[in-house]
Protein backbone atom coordinates (compact mmCIF):
# COMPACT_ATOMS: atom_id res chain seq x y z
CA UNK A 1 0.00 0.00 0.00
CA UNK A 2 1.39 3.43 -0.90
CA UNK A 3 1.94 6.09 1.72
CA UNK A 4 -0.85 8.22 0.21
CA UNK A 5 -3.41 5.45 0.55
CA UNK A 6 -2.23 4.70 4.08
CA UNK A 7 -2.63 8.36 5.04
CA UNK A 8 -6.12 8.49 3.52
CA UNK A 9 -7.05 5.27 5.31
CA UNK A 10 -5.81 6.55 8.64
CA UNK A 11 -7.59 9.83 7.91
CA UNK A 12 -10.91 8.08 7.36
CA UNK A 13 -10.42 5.95 10.44
CA UNK A 14 -9.50 9.00 12.53
CA UNK A 15 -12.48 10.88 11.10
CA UNK A 16 -14.74 8.10 12.34
CA UNK A 17 -12.91 7.88 15.68
CA UNK A 18 -11.85 4.32 14.86
CA UNK A 19 -8.60 2.41 15.01
CA UNK A 20 -7.56 -0.12 12.33
CA UNK A 21 -9.63 -3.25 12.88
CA UNK A 22 -7.71 -6.10 14.49
CA UNK A 23 -9.49 -9.39 13.85
CA UNK A 24 -9.12 -12.20 16.35
CA UNK A 25 -7.27 -15.40 15.41
CA UNK A 26 -10.41 -17.44 14.67
CA UNK A 27 -12.69 -14.54 13.80
CA UNK A 28 -15.04 -15.05 10.87
CA UNK A 29 -14.61 -12.61 7.98
CA UNK A 30 -17.30 -9.91 7.85
CA UNK A 31 -18.87 -10.79 11.17
CA UNK A 32 -21.15 -8.32 12.99
CA UNK A 33 -18.23 -6.44 14.61
CA UNK A 34 -16.50 -5.94 11.28
CA UNK A 35 -19.72 -4.89 9.59
CA UNK A 36 -20.34 -2.33 12.35
CA UNK A 37 -16.75 -1.05 11.99
CA UNK A 38 -17.31 -0.36 8.29
CA UNK A 39 -20.82 1.02 8.84
CA UNK A 40 -19.39 3.60 11.26
CA UNK A 41 -16.52 4.38 8.90
CA UNK A 42 -18.81 4.92 5.92
CA UNK A 43 -21.33 7.03 7.84
CA UNK A 44 -18.58 9.31 9.20
CA UNK A 45 -17.15 9.72 5.69
CA UNK A 46 -20.59 10.49 4.24
CA UNK A 47 -21.25 13.06 6.98
CA UNK A 48 -17.92 14.76 6.33
CA UNK A 49 -18.66 14.99 2.60
CA UNK A 50 -22.13 16.41 3.28
CA UNK A 51 -20.59 19.08 5.53
CA UNK A 52 -18.21 20.02 2.70
CA UNK A 53 -21.15 20.42 0.32
CA UNK A 54 -22.96 22.64 2.85
CA UNK A 55 -19.80 24.69 3.40
CA UNK A 56 -19.44 25.23 -0.36
CA UNK A 57 -23.02 26.44 -0.73
CA UNK A 58 -22.53 28.88 2.15
CA UNK A 59 -19.16 30.03 0.77
CA UNK A 60 -20.58 30.64 -2.70
CA UNK A 61 -23.54 32.60 -1.32
CA UNK A 62 -21.30 34.71 0.93
CA UNK A 63 -18.56 35.31 -1.64
CA UNK A 64 -20.69 35.84 -4.74
CA UNK A 65 -19.98 39.33 -5.96
CA UNK A 66 -20.52 41.17 -9.18
CA UNK A 67 -16.99 42.42 -9.77
CA UNK A 68 -16.77 45.31 -12.23
CA UNK A 69 -13.29 44.14 -13.26
CA UNK A 70 -13.61 41.28 -15.80
CA UNK A 71 -10.39 39.64 -14.54
CA UNK A 72 -11.68 39.53 -10.95
CA UNK A 73 -15.03 38.22 -12.14
CA UNK A 74 -13.34 35.53 -14.28
CA UNK A 75 -11.12 34.47 -11.37
CA UNK A 76 -14.15 34.10 -9.10
CA UNK A 77 -16.07 32.16 -11.76
CA UNK A 78 -13.09 29.82 -12.23
CA UNK A 79 -12.84 29.29 -8.45
CA UNK A 80 -16.57 28.52 -8.22
CA UNK A 81 -16.37 26.21 -11.23
CA UNK A 82 -13.54 24.24 -9.62
CA UNK A 83 -15.46 24.01 -6.34
CA UNK A 84 -18.59 22.81 -8.13
CA UNK A 85 -16.66 20.10 -10.02
CA UNK A 86 -15.16 18.93 -6.74
CA UNK A 87 -18.56 18.87 -5.05
CA UNK A 88 -20.03 16.97 -8.01
CA UNK A 89 -17.38 14.26 -7.54
CA UNK A 90 -18.17 14.21 -3.83
CA UNK A 91 -21.90 13.95 -4.57
CA UNK A 92 -21.18 10.88 -6.70
CA UNK A 93 -19.01 9.50 -3.90
CA UNK A 94 -21.86 10.02 -1.40
CA UNK A 95 -24.10 7.93 -3.67
CA UNK A 96 -21.43 5.23 -3.79
CA UNK A 97 -21.13 5.32 0.01
CA UNK A 98 -24.91 4.96 0.35
CA UNK A 99 -24.85 2.03 -2.08
CA UNK A 100 -22.12 0.43 0.05
CA UNK A 101 -24.11 1.00 3.26
CA UNK A 102 -27.03 -0.76 1.56
CA UNK A 103 -24.71 -3.68 0.76
CA UNK A 104 -23.81 -3.88 4.45
CA UNK A 105 -27.50 -3.91 5.39
CA UNK A 106 -28.10 -6.64 2.78
CA UNK A 107 -25.15 -8.64 4.18
CA UNK A 108 -23.45 -8.42 0.77
CA UNK A 109 -20.30 -6.47 1.73
CA UNK A 110 -16.63 -7.35 1.71
CA UNK A 111 -16.57 -9.87 -1.13
CA UNK A 112 -15.42 -9.29 -4.71
CA UNK A 113 -18.29 -8.76 -7.16
CA UNK A 114 -16.35 -10.54 -9.87
CA UNK A 115 -14.70 -13.59 -8.29
CA UNK A 116 -16.40 -13.76 -4.88
CA UNK A 117 -13.27 -13.88 -2.70
CA UNK A 118 -12.72 -11.72 0.36
CA UNK A 119 -11.67 -8.17 -0.49
CA UNK A 120 -9.79 -7.86 2.79
CA UNK A 121 -10.11 -5.63 5.82
CA UNK A 122 -7.05 -3.43 5.07
CA UNK A 123 -8.16 -2.80 1.47
CA UNK A 124 -11.66 -1.93 2.68
CA UNK A 125 -10.27 0.42 5.32
CA UNK A 126 -8.26 2.17 2.59
CA UNK A 127 -11.20 2.19 0.15
CA UNK A 128 -14.44 1.32 1.96
CA UNK A 129 -16.48 1.44 -1.24
CA UNK A 130 -14.30 -1.18 -3.00
CA UNK A 131 -16.35 -3.91 -4.63
CA UNK A 132 -13.50 -5.75 -6.34
CA UNK A 133 -10.54 -7.59 -4.82
CA UNK A 134 -7.12 -6.19 -5.69
CA UNK A 135 -6.49 -8.82 -8.39
CA UNK A 136 -9.79 -8.20 -10.20
CA UNK A 137 -9.35 -4.42 -9.88
CA UNK A 138 -5.84 -4.67 -11.33
CA UNK A 139 -7.12 -6.74 -14.27
CA UNK A 140 -9.96 -4.27 -14.87
CA UNK A 141 -7.47 -1.37 -14.95
CA UNK A 142 -5.21 -3.25 -17.40
CA UNK A 143 -8.17 -3.95 -19.69
CA UNK A 144 -9.25 -0.30 -19.48
CA UNK A 145 -5.76 0.86 -20.47
CA UNK A 146 -5.71 -1.57 -23.39
CA UNK A 147 -9.07 -0.33 -24.63
CA UNK A 148 -7.91 3.28 -24.43
CA UNK A 149 -4.92 2.34 -26.60
Per residue in 20-45, pLDDT (tens digit) is 999 999 999 999 999 999 999 999 99
Q: Judge whether 83 is annotated as a binding position.
A: no
What's the pLDDT at 6? 40
pLDDT digits (tens, 9 = 90+) for 73-122: 788 888 888 888 888 899 999 999 999 999 999 999 999 999 999 999 99
Q: Judge whether 115 is annotated as a binding position.
A: yes
Q: Are the CB atoms for 115 and 2 separated by under 8 Å? A: no
Rounded to two decimals, what is the model's pTM? Answer: 0.79
Per-residue burial over 59-95, b if 16 or more Cβ lie within 10 Å, else e, is eeeeeeeeeeeeeeeeebeeeeeebeeebeebeeebe
Q: Judge whether 2 is annotated as a binding position.
A: no
Indicate the pLDDT class of residue 3, thresholds 50, 70 and 90: very low
Q: Judge whether 133 is annotated as a binding position.
A: yes
Q: Which domains does the chain have, with CATH numbers?
A: 3-148 (1.20.120.910)
Mean pLDDT of 47-58: 85
Amino acid sequence: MSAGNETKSLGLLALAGLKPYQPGADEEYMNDDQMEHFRLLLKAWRNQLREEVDRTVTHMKDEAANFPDPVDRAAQEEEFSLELRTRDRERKLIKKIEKTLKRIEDDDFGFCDQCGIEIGIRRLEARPTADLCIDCKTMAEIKEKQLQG
